[in-house]
A and B are shown apart, each in its own frame.
Chain A
Amino acid sequence: QKEVEQDPGPLSVPEGAIVSLNCTYSNSAFQYFMWYRQYSRKGPELLMYTYSSGNKEDGRFTAQVDKSSKYISLFIRDSQPSDSATYLCAMSAGDYKLSFGAGTTVTVRA
Protein backbone atom coordinates (compact mmCIF):
# COMPACT_ATOMS: atom_id res chain seq x y z
CA GLN A 1 0.00 0.00 0.00
CA LYS A 2 1.32 3.42 -0.93
CA GLU A 3 1.78 5.90 1.88
CA VAL A 4 -0.19 8.54 -0.03
CA GLU A 5 -2.95 7.68 -2.50
CA GLN A 6 -4.21 10.16 -5.07
CA ASP A 7 -6.53 9.46 -7.99
CA PRO A 8 -4.59 10.39 -11.14
CA GLY A 9 -7.75 11.32 -13.06
CA PRO A 10 -7.80 12.82 -15.56
CA LEU A 11 -10.49 15.22 -14.44
CA SER A 12 -12.23 17.45 -16.99
CA VAL A 13 -14.64 20.20 -15.93
CA PRO A 14 -16.31 23.18 -17.65
CA GLU A 15 -15.13 26.67 -16.85
CA GLY A 16 -16.75 28.00 -13.68
CA ALA A 17 -17.25 24.58 -12.10
CA ILE A 18 -15.90 23.55 -8.71
CA VAL A 19 -12.90 21.24 -8.88
CA SER A 20 -12.63 18.74 -6.04
CA LEU A 21 -9.36 16.93 -5.43
CA ASN A 22 -8.41 14.60 -2.62
CA CYS A 23 -5.75 12.34 -1.16
CA THR A 24 -5.76 9.65 1.46
CA TYR A 25 -2.81 8.58 3.55
CA SER A 26 -1.82 5.85 5.93
CA ASN A 27 0.84 7.44 8.18
CA SER A 28 -0.85 8.93 11.23
CA ALA A 29 2.36 10.86 12.02
CA PHE A 30 1.79 13.29 9.14
CA GLN A 31 1.27 16.81 10.49
CA TYR A 32 1.97 19.08 7.52
CA PHE A 33 -0.17 18.96 4.41
CA MET A 34 0.52 20.72 1.13
CA TRP A 35 -0.95 21.13 -2.31
CA TYR A 36 1.22 21.90 -5.31
CA ARG A 37 0.23 22.88 -8.84
CA GLN A 38 2.42 21.71 -11.68
CA TYR A 39 2.06 22.94 -15.23
CA SER A 40 3.34 20.76 -18.03
CA ARG A 41 7.15 20.55 -18.08
CA LYS A 42 7.48 22.93 -15.11
CA GLY A 43 8.43 22.52 -11.46
CA PRO A 44 5.68 22.17 -8.82
CA GLU A 45 4.42 25.44 -7.35
CA LEU A 46 3.21 25.55 -3.76
CA LEU A 47 -0.47 26.49 -3.60
CA MET A 48 -1.40 25.99 0.03
CA TYR A 49 -0.26 24.29 3.18
CA THR A 50 -1.93 23.48 6.46
CA TYR A 51 -0.72 22.22 9.77
CA SER A 52 -2.75 19.51 11.51
CA SER A 53 -6.51 19.41 10.93
CA GLY A 54 -8.87 22.10 9.74
CA ASN A 55 -9.68 24.29 6.76
CA LYS A 56 -7.72 27.02 5.04
CA GLU A 57 -8.98 29.36 2.36
CA ASP A 58 -6.98 31.47 -0.09
CA GLY A 59 -8.99 33.20 -2.79
CA ARG A 60 -10.65 30.55 -4.94
CA PHE A 61 -8.78 27.72 -3.20
CA THR A 62 -9.84 25.87 -0.05
CA ALA A 63 -7.80 23.13 1.60
CA GLN A 64 -9.29 20.75 4.14
CA VAL A 65 -7.58 18.22 6.39
CA ASP A 66 -9.40 15.48 8.28
CA LYS A 67 -6.79 13.65 10.31
CA SER A 68 -9.33 11.30 11.87
CA SER A 69 -10.14 9.95 8.40
CA LYS A 70 -6.61 10.46 7.02
CA TYR A 71 -8.11 12.45 4.17
CA ILE A 72 -7.22 15.80 2.64
CA SER A 73 -9.03 17.82 -0.01
CA LEU A 74 -8.49 20.80 -2.27
CA PHE A 75 -11.40 22.71 -3.77
CA ILE A 76 -11.08 25.20 -6.61
CA ARG A 77 -14.07 27.48 -7.04
CA ASP A 78 -14.98 29.27 -10.26
CA SER A 79 -12.40 27.24 -12.15
CA GLN A 80 -10.58 28.87 -15.07
CA PRO A 81 -8.75 27.39 -18.07
CA SER A 82 -5.54 28.62 -16.42
CA ASP A 83 -6.22 26.15 -13.59
CA SER A 84 -5.57 23.30 -16.02
CA ALA A 85 -2.57 21.52 -14.51
CA THR A 86 -1.52 18.54 -12.43
CA TYR A 87 -2.20 18.92 -8.71
CA LEU A 88 0.04 17.11 -6.25
CA CYS A 89 -0.69 16.54 -2.61
CA ALA A 90 2.24 16.21 -0.22
CA MET A 91 2.60 15.61 3.48
CA SER A 92 5.27 15.43 6.14
CA ALA A 93 5.70 14.10 9.65
CA GLY A 94 8.18 16.86 10.39
CA ASP A 95 11.29 14.86 9.54
CA TYR A 96 12.63 16.80 6.50
CA LYS A 97 10.87 14.45 4.11
CA LEU A 98 7.74 14.91 2.04
CA SER A 99 5.58 12.06 0.78
CA PHE A 100 3.79 12.86 -2.47
CA GLY A 101 0.69 11.63 -4.20
CA ALA A 102 1.00 10.70 -7.87
CA GLY A 103 -0.88 13.84 -8.93
CA THR A 104 -4.29 14.49 -10.49
CA THR A 105 -4.43 16.00 -13.98
CA VAL A 106 -7.16 18.62 -14.32
CA THR A 107 -8.46 20.19 -17.51
CA VAL A 108 -10.84 23.16 -17.34
CA ARG A 109 -12.73 23.52 -20.61
CA ALA A 110 -13.48 27.05 -21.85
Chain B
Amino acid sequence: SQTIHQWPATLVQPVGSPLSLECTVEGTSNPNLYWYRQAAGRGLQLLFYSVGIGQISSEVPQNLSASRPQDRQFILSSKKLLLSDSGFYLCAWEGDTKNIQYFGAGTRLSVL
Protein backbone atom coordinates (compact mmCIF):
# COMPACT_ATOMS: atom_id res chain seq x y z
CA SER B 1 0.00 0.00 0.00
CA GLN B 2 1.01 3.58 -0.52
CA THR B 3 2.20 5.74 2.35
CA ILE B 4 3.44 9.29 2.65
CA HIS B 5 6.05 10.46 5.14
CA GLN B 6 6.59 14.04 6.12
CA TRP B 7 9.11 15.41 8.59
CA PRO B 8 9.76 17.01 10.95
CA ALA B 9 6.39 17.19 12.70
CA THR B 10 7.24 20.41 14.50
CA LEU B 11 9.88 23.03 13.80
CA VAL B 12 10.80 26.29 15.49
CA GLN B 13 13.16 28.48 13.51
CA PRO B 14 14.48 32.03 13.93
CA VAL B 15 13.74 34.70 11.36
CA GLY B 16 16.35 34.68 8.61
CA SER B 17 17.30 31.03 9.01
CA PRO B 18 17.02 28.49 6.16
CA LEU B 19 14.31 25.85 5.88
CA SER B 20 14.12 22.37 4.46
CA LEU B 21 11.01 20.19 4.79
CA GLU B 22 11.02 16.76 3.23
CA CYS B 23 8.26 14.54 1.94
CA THR B 24 8.56 11.02 0.56
CA VAL B 25 5.96 8.66 -0.87
CA GLU B 26 6.23 4.88 -0.84
CA GLY B 27 4.41 2.24 -2.83
CA THR B 28 3.85 4.18 -6.02
CA SER B 29 5.85 5.57 -8.92
CA ASN B 30 5.75 8.92 -10.69
CA PRO B 31 3.08 10.40 -8.43
CA ASN B 32 1.92 14.00 -8.68
CA LEU B 33 3.15 15.73 -5.52
CA TYR B 34 1.90 18.87 -3.79
CA TRP B 35 2.91 21.30 -1.04
CA TYR B 36 0.16 23.22 0.79
CA ARG B 37 0.09 25.70 3.63
CA GLN B 38 -2.82 25.90 6.02
CA ALA B 39 -3.40 29.02 8.08
CA ALA B 40 -5.62 28.88 11.16
CA GLY B 41 -9.31 29.06 10.21
CA ARG B 42 -8.56 29.10 6.52
CA GLY B 43 -8.52 26.53 3.77
CA LEU B 44 -5.48 24.94 2.25
CA GLN B 45 -3.38 27.12 -0.03
CA LEU B 46 -1.53 25.32 -2.81
CA LEU B 47 2.11 26.39 -2.89
CA PHE B 48 3.78 24.05 -5.40
CA TYR B 49 3.00 20.95 -7.38
CA SER B 50 5.14 18.57 -9.39
CA VAL B 51 4.22 16.08 -12.10
CA GLY B 52 7.71 14.59 -12.38
CA ILE B 53 11.38 14.79 -11.42
CA GLY B 54 12.67 18.34 -11.76
CA GLN B 55 9.23 19.66 -12.79
CA ILE B 56 7.92 22.26 -10.35
CA SER B 57 4.98 24.61 -10.76
CA SER B 58 4.61 27.53 -8.36
CA GLU B 59 1.17 28.76 -7.48
CA VAL B 60 1.97 31.66 -5.16
CA PRO B 61 5.01 33.94 -5.43
CA GLN B 62 6.71 33.98 -2.04
CA ASN B 63 9.76 33.28 0.02
CA LEU B 64 9.66 29.54 -0.61
CA SER B 65 10.89 27.15 -3.28
CA ALA B 66 10.40 23.47 -4.00
CA SER B 67 12.47 20.75 -5.59
CA ARG B 68 11.93 17.16 -6.65
CA PRO B 69 15.30 15.48 -6.83
CA GLN B 70 13.89 11.95 -6.96
CA ASP B 71 10.65 10.41 -8.20
CA ARG B 72 9.08 10.06 -4.77
CA GLN B 73 10.79 12.90 -2.91
CA PHE B 74 9.53 16.46 -2.65
CA ILE B 75 11.36 19.17 -0.72
CA LEU B 76 10.16 22.59 0.41
CA SER B 77 12.90 25.14 1.09
CA SER B 78 13.63 28.70 1.99
CA LYS B 79 16.91 30.56 2.16
CA LYS B 80 15.70 33.07 4.74
CA LEU B 81 12.54 32.56 6.74
CA LEU B 82 10.11 35.39 7.45
CA LEU B 83 7.65 35.66 10.33
CA SER B 84 4.85 35.28 7.78
CA ASP B 85 6.17 31.83 6.80
CA SER B 86 4.79 30.39 10.05
CA GLY B 87 2.02 27.87 9.46
CA PHE B 88 1.07 24.25 8.97
CA TYR B 89 2.71 22.75 5.88
CA LEU B 90 1.21 19.71 4.24
CA CYS B 91 2.56 17.43 1.55
CA ALA B 92 0.13 15.48 -0.61
CA TRP B 93 0.25 12.97 -3.43
CA GLU B 94 -2.26 12.12 -6.10
CA GLY B 95 -3.27 8.49 -6.13
CA ASP B 96 -4.15 6.15 -8.96
CA THR B 97 -7.55 7.83 -9.05
CA LYS B 98 -6.71 11.14 -10.63
CA ASN B 99 -7.74 14.33 -8.84
CA ILE B 100 -7.88 12.55 -5.49
CA GLN B 101 -5.11 13.65 -3.13
CA TYR B 102 -3.82 12.09 0.07
CA PHE B 103 -2.05 14.08 2.74
CA GLY B 104 0.87 13.59 5.05
CA ALA B 105 0.78 14.34 8.76
CA GLY B 106 2.04 17.90 8.28
CA THR B 107 4.80 20.08 9.72
CA ARG B 108 3.95 22.87 12.10
CA LEU B 109 6.47 25.66 11.52
CA SER B 110 6.90 28.54 13.92
CA VAL B 111 9.19 31.35 12.87
CA LEU B 112 10.24 33.51 15.81
Q: Which residues of A contact B (CB under 8 A)?
A: 4, 6, 8, 31-32, 34, 36, 41-46, 49, 88, 90, 92, 94, 96-98, 100-103
Contacts and interface: CB of A to CB of B under 8 A. Distances in A.
B106 A42 contact: yes
A8 B42 CA distance: 9
A44 B94 CA distance: 14
**Which of A31, A44, A49, A103 is the most central at the interface, judged by chain B CB atoms within 10 Å of its CB?**
A44
Interface of B: 6, 32, 41-44, 46, 49, 51, 59, 88, 90, 94, 97-106, 108
Contacts of B104: 43
Contacts of A34: 100-101
Contacts, number: 57
Contacts of B106: 41-43
**Which of B42, B43, B51 is the most central at the interface, judged by chain A CB atoms within 10 Å of its CB?**
B43
Contacts of B100: 32, 34, 46, 49
B105 A8 contact: no
Nearest to B51: A96
Contacts of A102: 41-43
Given A8-B41, A41-B108, A97 B49 contact: yes
Contacts of B102: 46
Given A43-B103, A43-B106, A44-B103, A94 B43 contact: no
Contacts of A31: 99
B94 A96 contact: yes
B105 A43 contact: yes
B99 A92 contact: yes
Given A8-B41, A41-B108, A44-B90, A98 B46 contact: yes
